[in-house]
Structure 1
């Protein structure tokens, strides 16, 4: 007779990510919120991540708790294992080298007993090498693999031009970079196809992946816990400038030069405007120089703590959400949009595709095609001419509460994990031939 016992099924999650708390940003906030839901739901989370070094590329916290090899407990009960990293500059090659070091270190530390034996490995982008590391760890542990695509990678490689080095370009360099782009695209696409589940943050990108033969795709949007800063009512502009704010990442993807040029055009037309661009990123200084060159009424300011973002929105008459006119961004919804929709501040949305549809369908603000300087200037001049900024519809905040709140998204992730890992307890033999 063979004795059998019922053993609780392994539900451990191993997360491979290049960004995590105490860093601040959309990826870090997303997984802080999700960990806070998954751990109490019975999914122990272990995180493989480098020391905090975003966005500067240099370590920002010098406590031993954040040094490579440190094992700590996070705010939600998750285990955090710090992996090696490489200090980097803003250059592409330097950043990729950092991601490669972290990915290799994640594999080496992820196979040790400290990381446990996961039932599911989740590899999240940005940090494309993290996907390869996640695949390797899933194979090693014989675990399910979830590939999480926060943006439309690798489709953004070509339009973003990130593989094109500024300055002198030889035919050989161009050939090597084109080859690298194709290799990255093919590698990520194959890993997406081989994953047990691919999670995207938009319905549009999920459909793109399904059309490419990725068999199991689910949508878990970026979320927000932002609360309204004002009532849904028109804002009079009598005797003062229109106040517009952008708060967030200031990089090439956002295309905020359009905002600076539009502000200069509004001023040329004789209207008063006060624009603030607040954040961090490679484009802060170029935007500051552009504003000075054009004499635009734009203040470019460093980022503020997340607790002060509410003050920025309370000050503003309109909040700017902007992306460049790149085709893959039609499948992207910036997490900033959910924050603005929840705030009650009317959006000036330079967006296309799914993001633009969300703004229009829910009355969150006005949509201008990305890159349309004249269109954005016309929008703001129209409000100034009318002497009032229209109210955002309460439908916008309601939609966020129902589809993009932290609670809703945490519940959705739990459902997906339940589907991957059958919930009932499973009988297993303790010892062949054992008797009662």
Structure 2
């Protein structure tokens, strides 16, 4: 079978989404399928000047190669992305348009590669909207791979910049009514895309159940499967407990995106509250994102015992993991995030690192059921401070079970391949 994937991000970028699809591509190719992807050149973490962008656009048709799984990579049009939501949305829209154009810019390749199935993978809304169009061009069915709870997250749009230090931005200044209309239109278009897909892949069971319940209320059923982000880690790190550490001190590591959905100012507030109770919490951020400058301002102005390091490859996190007593997995309290599971959760469980989970829903349930750490509710710095004080004073509570590691390995090596190929059979492909 020939499979065409549409994605806003791909190799050599090294984020969660790219690593997930390199892994899935390997499974598909090892099973004898042929995989090609239409995606933009790597640009998400780069500052690209106008002339450099023009040169990269002019060479798109020559910029066709292979990825690490053996997948064919066809690059498409893009815009340099900025930090604001409007600039990012514009880039995502241009990339989606570029996916359509790629069909005509690579006529020779697609003469030999006529896909049997198109898969649109959606951290970005425009990909969900363009996937039915691309599938129509190729006269083939399509599948939506949905990582986040879109379009439900649009309900929280007024809070997207909270905790980032950024102004409301052009989108909010347009006015509440136009933005409400845009949200309604996007919701209708995404639901149309879901409804007409051959099937859907999601990353959490709660999201699968929610989508199925909504479909049932509309008198229809979805073929849907849950494939979690348990892709192979880039490090074989295994944690060890250091009970001889200084009493009354706790080292906390957050390694991930400093973004809108995290609202990590809550963790800084908890550090201050713990200090008032006689416990020193050393909080270390390793990562990048739109909230970085606001976090740095808060750390500096309020004298919080925290520091920020830049983004690092997984292989270079070892010394930070050695330093940490617990690793923070943190989301804010937007209702749709109850159906999200940060990929870092699986990596930490596989490494045996104690997790401080500030989240709700399925992610919280997994950490508790698999004895991977402790959980408190989002946006409750008092509860988080209390947990850290307890861990600093009773370090034996930092020990975690092997159940999390074993479960992640089972999901990765046995459950995911079974679910993936069962799903393909259910939608009519062997």
TM-score by length of 2: 0.89
**Is the aligned partner of 1:337 residue 2:345?**
yes
Counterpart of 1:49? 39
Distance 1:38 1:363, change over 3 A: same
Would you tell me which structure has more helix in proportion to its own residues? 2
**Partner of residue 218 from structure 1, selected from 222, 225, 229:** 225
Counterpart of 2:164? none
Query: Which whole-Å CA distance do the structure 1 matches of 2:326 and 2:267 have between them?
Result: 13
Q: CA deviation at 1:415?
A: 3.2
Distance 1:162 1:29, change over 3 A: farther
**Partner of residue 207 from structure 1, selected from 206, 209, 215:** 209
Distance 1:129 1:259, change over 3 A: same
Query: Which whole-Å CA distance do the structure 2 matches of 1:205 and 1:280 have between them?
Result: 27
* Unaligned ranges ≥5, structure 1: 1-10, 424-436
Deviations 1:325-353 (A, max 9, x none): 01101111111111111110110000101
Q: CA deviation at 1:57?
A: 6.2
Match of 2:119, SS state, is: strand
Query: Which whole-Å CA distance do the structure 2 matches of 1:249 and 1:103 have between them?
Result: 24
TM-score by length of 1: 0.88
Structure with bigger gyration radius: 1
**Partner of residue 186 from structure 1, selected from 178, 185, 188:** 188
Structure 1 stretch 159-168 or stretch 354-363: which is displaced more?
A: 159-168
**Partner of residue 10 from structure 2, selected from 12, 20, 26:** 20
**Is the aligned partner of 1:149 residue 2:146?**
yes
Query: Which whole-Å CA distance do the structure 1 matches of 2:271 and 2:59 have between them?
Result: 44
Query: Which whole-Å CA distance do the structure 2 matches of 1:54 and 1:407 have between them?
Result: 33
Q: Which has the higher contact order (CA 8 A, sep 6+)?
A: 1
Q: CA deviation at 1:224?
A: 3.2
Counterpart of 1:412? 419
**Is the aligned partner of 1:32 residue 2:40?**
no
Counterpart of 2:132? 135
* Unaligned ranges ≥5, structure 2: 162-166, 216-220
Q: CA deviation at 1:406?
A: 6.2
Query: Which whole-Å CA distance do the structure 1 matches of 2:47 and 2:183 have between them?
Result: 23
Structure 1 stretch 72-81 or stretch 211-220: which is displaced more?
A: 211-220
Deviations 1:168-214 (A, max 9, x none): 99896211111111111111011111100011111101111111115
Counterpart of 2:82? 89
**Partner of residue 301 from structure 1, selected from 297, 306, 309:** 309
Distance 1:126 1:387, change over 3 A: closer
Q: CA deviation at 1:33?
A: 1.1
Q: CA deviation at 1:290?
A: 0.9
Query: Which whole-Å CA distance do the structure 2 matches of 1:44 and 1:322 have between them?
Result: 38
Q: CA RMSD in A?
A: 2.5
Query: Which whole-Å CA distance do the structure 1 matches of 2:263 and 2:172 have between them?
Result: 27
Q: CA deviation at 1:132?
A: 2.1
Q: CA deviation at 1:90?
A: 1.1
Number of residues paired by the alignment? Answer: 411
Deviations 1:3-40 (A, max 9, x none): xxxxxxxx100000001111121111101111122112
Query: Which whole-Å CA distance do the structure 2 matches of 1:270 and 1:191 have between them?
Result: 54
Deviations 1:267-298 (A, max 9, x none): 22222221101101101111111111221111
Query: Which whole-Å CA distance do the structure 1 matches of 2:199 and 2:365 have between them?
Result: 26
